[in-house]
């Protein structure tokens, strides 16, 4: 919504949370309590709550025991005087910098209505989302459900085949690991806080809405780190045709060293500095290896931990991450490769195409173009 349209907004205006509305660059102001926001919000929203968590809890208790009118009165008592002015100042400041801002609460009723009314009393006509967070979430989840029914391709291959790089190179590629902030294996954790399930689903929905089918996904387990692929989409991926990348171990080892060591070290160093970043990265990689004890067995785990320790010492001394090949190579050949080959052998359908990274990329691009051309005619 443009600033020109903002000047014509009417007091109490509500905007239907259509996909196009959610795609606009208008800033979304979430006036729910911080605990609600942390569980999931609309993409790009900021949290400027009407009530904090404790105030919301008090109002909720009052509502359960004394009804809506008493809860509303308590809410006005709790957020009054200097506290109300502080929160008004925060809303005014954001709206001054973002005149197209839109406010929302859980259902688009009490809280966003109160904030809208208070702002209107000061001459600020700020629209709110009709139906609030819940209505907007239904809109976003409908996008995912519809996308699940569209044609898709799944890129498979042994660990280190640079499947994510291929996803990023494709117009219809959907980077599930990017949305999950996790690379999908025991070693896939990234620095920083992972998204909530709701935030993962919302950013995924927006990505699907911004791209055109057929979509291309990486072969994943349903759970990626701390989140799960929505069921309808997961079922669609299980039924989709697969293409298989086949690359030699040495090539894959270079890729996995970049992902597990070089890129991770860059992220940790940037986030925490060289000393603490190194310590945190080292702890993460040791912990990831230890979590595989049940499948590796005690003897193999002990051997890999010793090789990993030697690699960290050499890396710290020389600055050469290639020292990690000593434990990454057997990890691939003795653990990941046999496990993934077993999973491929149990697949209900054979791959639609098998080739090198470049050959698969060319095949997928051609298949996507043909599918789109046939859909346009």
**Which positions are catalytic?**
105
- Give which of 284, 315, 289, 319 is closest to 302, Cα–Cα: 289
Q: How do beta strands 242-245 and 227-228 pair? A: unpaired
Counting beta carbons within 10 angstroms of the beta carbon of residue 300, is it exposed (0 to 12), middle (13 to 18) or buried (19 or more)?
middle
| Lookup: tokens for 370 | 């043909």
Which tokens is 160 given? 């280190």
Distance between start and end Cα atoms, the chain = 34
Closest CA to 345 of 186, 158, 152: 158
How far apart CA 217 and CA 236 sit, in angstroms, is 11
In contact, 169 and 365? CB cutoff 8 Å = no
Alpha-carbon distances of 69 from 56, 81, 107, 118, 352, rounded to whole Å: 15, 20, 18, 19, 63
How far is it, in rounded angstroms, from Cα 291 to Cα 338? 18
132-148 and 197-210 helices cross at what angle (nearest 10)? 60
Residue 191 CA: distances (Å) to CA of 38, 223, 268, 340, 365: 18, 19, 6, 26, 33
CA distances from 182 to 21, 195, 238 (A): 29, 10, 21
Helix-then-strand count for the chain, H and E: 20, 11
**Pairing status of strand 227-228 against strand 223-224:** antiparallel
């Amino acid at each position: 919504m443009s600033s020109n349209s903002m000047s014509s907004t009417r007091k109490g205006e509500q905007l239907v949370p259509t996909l196009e509305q959610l795609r606009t660059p208008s800033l979304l102001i979430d006036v729910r309590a911080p605990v609600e926001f942390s569980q999931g919000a609309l993409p790009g929203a900021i949290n400027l709550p009407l009530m904090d968590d404790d105030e919301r809890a008090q109002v909720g208790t009052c509502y359960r025991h004394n009804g809506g009118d008493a809860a509303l009165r308590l809410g006005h008592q709790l957020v009054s005087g200097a506290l109300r002015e502080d929160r008004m100042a925060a809303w005014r400041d954001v709206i001054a910098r973002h005149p197209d801002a839109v406010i929302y609460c859980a259902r688009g009723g009490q809280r966003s209505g109160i904030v809208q009314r208070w702002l209107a009393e000061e001459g600020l006509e700020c629209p709110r989302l009709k139906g609030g967070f819940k209505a907007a979430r239904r809109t976003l989840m409908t996008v995912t459900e519809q996308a699940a029914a569209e044609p898709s391709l799944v890129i498979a291959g042994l660990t280190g085949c640079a499947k994510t790089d291929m996803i990023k190179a494709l117009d219809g590629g959907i980077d599930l690991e990017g949305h999950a902030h996790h690379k999908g294996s025991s070693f896939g954790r990234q620095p920083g806080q992972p998204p909530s399930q709701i935030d993962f689903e919302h950013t995924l929905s927006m990505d699907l809405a911004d791209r055109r089918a057929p979509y291309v996904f990486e072969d994943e387990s349903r759970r990626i780190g701390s989140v799960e692929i929505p069921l309808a989409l997961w079922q669609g991926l299980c039924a989709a045709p697969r293409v298989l990348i086949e690359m030699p171990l040495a090539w894959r080892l270079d890729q996995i060293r970049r992902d597990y060591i070089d890129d991770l070290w860059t992220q940790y160093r940037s986030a925490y500095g060289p000393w603490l970043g190194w310590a945190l990265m080292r702890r993460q990689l040791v912990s990831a290896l230890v979590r595989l004890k049940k499948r590796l067995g005690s003897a193999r785990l002990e051997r890999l931990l010793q090789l990993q320790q030697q690699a960290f010492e050499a890396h710290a001394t020389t600055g050469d991450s290639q020292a990690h090949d000593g434990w990454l190579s057997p990890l691939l050949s003795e653990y990941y490769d046999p496990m993934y080959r077993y999973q491929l052998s149990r697949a209900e359908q054979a791959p639609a195409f098998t080739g090198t990274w470049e050959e698969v990329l060319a095949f997928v691009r051609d298949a996507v173009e043909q599918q789109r051309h046939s859909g346009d005619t």
